[in-house]
Chains A and B, each alone.
Chain A
Amino acid sequence: MTRYASVLDLIGQTPIVDVSALSPKPNVTILAKLEGRNPAGSVKDRVALSLIDAAETDGLLVPGKPDQILIEPSSGNTGIALAMVCRLRGYHLKVVLPSNVSPERRQLLLAWGAEIIDSPGSEGSNGAVRLAQRLSSEHPEWIFLYQYANPNNPLAHYRTTGPEILNDVPEITHFVAGLGTSGTLMGVGRYLKEHRPGTQVWAIEPPSGEMVDGLRNLDDGYIPPIFTDNHGAEMLDRKVVVRPKESIEWTRRMTEVGLFVGISSGAIMAGAVKCALLVPDDQTATIVTIACDDGWKYLSTGAWSDDIDEVVERAKKIIYF
C-alpha cells in the first residue's frame, strides 16, 4: 500500500475501465476513466488544485496569510473540489450556486466549510457566472479564479488527464467528454491532437439553453472564454446534444458494468454510443470517455429507482451537468 503525505496527492492517476459490454458494435472498444475516484469525488479536483497552485505561485494567494477570500460560480463539482482544497490550504471560499442544484451538492459544500451564495435557479449557470462577476467587481479584495476563463483549468487536463489517458490507452481513436467550462475537452483534446494526431475529439452537452429562462435574447448567450481562447471550434470534431431521458437511461445502464456514476457520465456514455455507431463495420475504434463523478450526489433525483419519465421531468429542473 502506498503512503501519501496529503489527500491532495491522491488527485489524478484515476483508473480506466473497459465498458465495452455496453458498446453497440463488437469492433468498437469503449473505456471509461473513473474521475469519481478523486478525493473530493470528481474530475474537478484536478482543476481546483491547478487553480489554487497557480494562484499561490503567482502571489494572488499567500499560504498562511489570514482572511483570504475566494469567490467562484459553480453548479457543484468545482465548488466542492475548491472547497476541499481551500479547507486544507486555509482559504475562505464563497460559492455562487444556482438554487436548483441537487441538495447533496449543497450539503457537500457546507461539509467542506464553503459559504453558499444563491443565484436564481431559472438562470442556470449563466446566472451564477453573472452574479459572481458582479460580486467580484464590488469586492476587488476577493480572489476570483474564474474557472470558465482561467487557463490553468485546461492546463490541469493537458498536464495530467491527457497524458494519463494516452499512457493507459495508446491505441485511442476517439475522446468523448462533456462540455461545461470546456476545460477537460480543451486540455485533453489539445494533448491528444499533439501527441496522437488523428484522434477525434467529441463534445457532449446538455440541452441547457432550452431551460434557462433568464435570457432576454441571444445576445445574452455565453461561451466560456477557455473555449474561444483554445480555438475550441477548430479543436472539436463533433458536438452532440444528449437529452435528459437518454442521460438517465445510460446512467442506469452503467450499473450493468458495475459503475454507479453521475448523470453527466451517463450522458457522455450515451454520446460515446452515438460515436461508436458511426464507426464502419470493417474498422476498429477505441473510444475513451470520462465518468466525471459517482452517483452519490444524485440519489435525491431518484435516477436509479423512480419511474424514468418522472425522473426526466425532475432532471429538467435540476442542474446535473
Chain B
Amino acid sequence: MSALLRIPTVLRPAMGGEASITVEGPTIGAILSQVTSRYPAVKGQLLNADGTLHRFLNVYVNDDDVRYLGGLDAPVADSDEITLLPAVAGGAW
C-alpha cells in the first residue's frame, strides 16, 4: 500500500529537493511521522512541538483538507495523493 506525497517548493530544500515521494501508512499521522524520521530537518516545518499540525501547513488527501477529516487520524488509502501546501493569503474575490 503506498500513496504519493506532493511537496511544495518551500519544503523541498529540507526534503531532498524532491517534488514528490512515495509514502506508506494508514493515516496522515503515520505518514508524517515516517517523513520526519526520513527528513528530520523538516519536522519543525510540519509539526508543532506538541505533535499537532503546523499552523501554516495545510495537508490534503485527494484535495480534501485533513483538518476536516480527522486531522492526523485522517485515513489514507492505497493510491491516494497527499498534498502539502503552505497557508497563504487568499485572493480577494
Contact = CB atoms under 8 A, between A and B. Distances in A.
A292 to B, nearest CB: 4
A308 interface: no
A128 B90 CA distance: 11
Interface in A285-321: 292-293, 319-321
Contact of B87 (A73, A74, A213, A223): A223
Interface string B55-69: 111101001110110
Given A207-B85, A241-B63, A219 B56 contact: yes
A73 B91 CA distance: 10
A12 interface: no
Interface hub of A125, A218, A239, A242 (most chain B Cβ within 10 A): A218
B88 interface: yes
Interface in B12-67: 45, 54-58, 60, 63-65, 67
B9 A213 contact: yes
A184 B93 CA distance: 10
Given A209-B58, A219-B56, A241-B60, A180 B92 contact: yes
B11 A77 contact: no
B92 A223 contact: no
Interface residues of A, number: 56
Given A218-B56, A240-B65, A208 B90 contact: yes
A292 B93 contact: yes
Contacts of B68: 236-239
Interface hub of A76, A148, A205 (most chain B Cβ within 10 A): A205
A231 to B, nearest CB: 13
Interface of A: 42-44, 73-79, 124-126, 128-129, 147-148, 178-182, 184, 205-210, 212-213, 215-224, 233, 236-243, 264, 292-293, 319-321
13 contacts: A73-B89, A75-B91, A76-B91, A125-B89, A178-B93, A180-B91, A209-B87, A216-B10, A218-B11, A222-B89, A223-B55, A321-B91, A321-B93
User: What are the 9 closest A-B residue pairs judged by CB atoms, nearest first?
Assistant: A221-B56, A321-B91, A239-B65, A180-B90, A209-B85, A75-B91, A125-B89, A78-B92, A209-B86
